[in-house]
Amino acid sequence: MSVLHLLGSNADGGAETYFVDLVTALSRAGLSEACAIRPHAGREQALTAAGLAVKTFGFGSPLDLLTRPGIASFAKARQARVLVAWMNRAAKHTPKGPWARIGRLGGYYKLKNYRGFEALVGNTRDIVDWMVREGWPADRAHYIPNFAEAPADGAPVDRASLDTPSDVPLLLSMGRLHSAKAHDISLQALRAIPGAYLWIAGAGPLEDQLKTLAGALGLGDRVRFLGWRNDPSALYGAADLCLFPSRFEPLGNTVIQAWAHGLPVVAAASQGPAALIRDGDDGLLVPIDDAEALAARTNALLADPMLRIRLIQNGHARVEAEFSQAAILGQWRALFAQYGAS
């Protein structure tokens, strides 16, 4: 009896990346799974290479009359006992049938899209509390955070390959090129961080605008726009410090990943990072939209090796205690077992 995961997004972002990470990790742990996804060549290749059965569907507008019955047919062929809908678009196309339906929420989504589902999973405690406040039954609202893990044999990116000197402070900013991620704040802060270089890894609608801003600020020679990358571990491994100034961030998976990769973090105190980070203990927090504060705390961290070591050690301890892959997979498998899938 298997689990069928549904992903209706064709974007490249943190949620989509974690979808692949979790599904493939569960498969390696012995869970029988399949995936119904919107067409995306890279994702199809990654999932297929991991040995998963993958089928693509349109996940279109309400006039899309093919996706839901197609998924139902695929689920029956796979003898699925559980269907997991990742985000709203997938939830809208998740068919009823002889299976349990579980919604996985990484944000404050419209719960009407999950009407009739047997359970919801939020990846932060605040999201789970919000579900219950919105009327979702508490006994069917589950908290399962994201896991983070650095590969044991991962090699860092060669800085020279990205025209970056080996002896300069290297800052890494991960995330879609979208206003919510506040890459503009990282760029403004960089002006006051002498000698540092900044790698911005991500794709999105603000690429041209951010590149124009970097030029206008006179930072063109110290900023590298890397686009969408499939090697985040290699980027974390090459950097000295992670900047995460998001204006809106329900979770902040970048924080957990930085901890797992031994990289200290300076983040804006948006909802997710503020809930995750213990300021001064396992990371540093600054006010949202405050480039001056981001620069000041980054400079202080770069000048204090003992502080960097403490943040790295405590961040690693947080991952081991709360966000290890083994613990998170165990929670998902226990939930699936409730509905006869194991």
Judge whether 14 and 180 are in contact, CB under 8 Å.
Answer: no
Residue 321 has what pLDDT?
Answer: 93
Average pLDDT over all residues of the chain: 96
Judge whether 141 and 120 are in contact, CB under 8 Å.
Answer: yes
* Predicted confidence (pLDDT) at residue 251 exceeds the cutoff of 90: no
Residue 14 has what pLDDT?
Answer: 87
Average pLDDT of 241-265?
94
Q: Where are the beta strands (DSSP E) in the chain?
A: 2-7, 33-37, 53-56, 80-86, 100-105, 119-122, 141-143, 170-174, 197-201, 223-227, 241-244, 265-268, 284-286
Average pLDDT of 63-82?
97
How many other CB atoms are found less than 10 A from the CB of residue 232? 18
* Predicted confidence (pLDDT) at residue 196 exceeds the cutoff of 80: yes
Q: Which residue has the tokens 């399949």?
A: 34
Domains detected in the chain: 2-147+324-338 (3.40.50.2000), 159-322 (3.40.50.2000)
94 token code pair: 């998740």
CA nearest to 63, candidates 83, 91, 93, 95: 93
Q: DSSP assignment of 31-46, as one string?
A: --EEEEE---HHHHHH
Average pLDDT of 8-36?
95
Residue 1 has what pLDDT?
Answer: 64
Average pLDDT of 252-261?
93
Band (340; pLDDT cuts 50, 70, 90): confident
Residues sharing a CB contact under 8 Å with residue 137, sequence separation 6 or more, in sequence order: none
Judge whether 213 and 190 are in contact, CB under 8 Å.
Answer: no
Task: Spell 246-284 as b/e; 16+ CB within 10 A means b.
Answer: beebbbbbbbbbbbbbbbbbbbbbbbbbbbbbeeeebbb
pTM over 0.85: yes
Output Rg (C-alpha) for the chain, integer angstroms: 21
Band (153; pLDDT cuts 50, 70, 90): confident
Q: Which residue has the tokens 């290479």?
A: 49
Judge whether 123 and 323 are in contact, CB under 8 Å.
Answer: no
* Predicted confidence (pLDDT) at residue 273 exceeds the cutoff of 90: yes
Residue 336 has what pLDDT?
Answer: 97
**Per-residue pLDDT tens over the stretch 110-150:** 999 999 999 999 999 999 999 999 999 999 999 999 999 89
Residue 165 has what pLDDT?
Answer: 97
- In whole angstroms, give the CA distance from residue 69 to residue 175: 34
Is residue 293 packed enough to be buried (19+ CB in 10 Å), middle (13-18) or exposed (0-12)?
buried
**Which H or E run includes 48?**
helix 41-49
Please, what is the Cα angle at 261 between 257 and 267, to 5 degrees?
50
Considering the chain, what percentage of its residues have pLDDT values greater than 70? Answer: 99
Residues sharing a CB contact under 8 Å with residue 26, sequence separation 6 or more, in sequence order: 3, 33, 329, 332, 333
End-to-end CA distance of the chain: 7
- In whole angstroms, give the CA distance from residue 131 to residue 142: 10
Average pLDDT of 275-281?
96
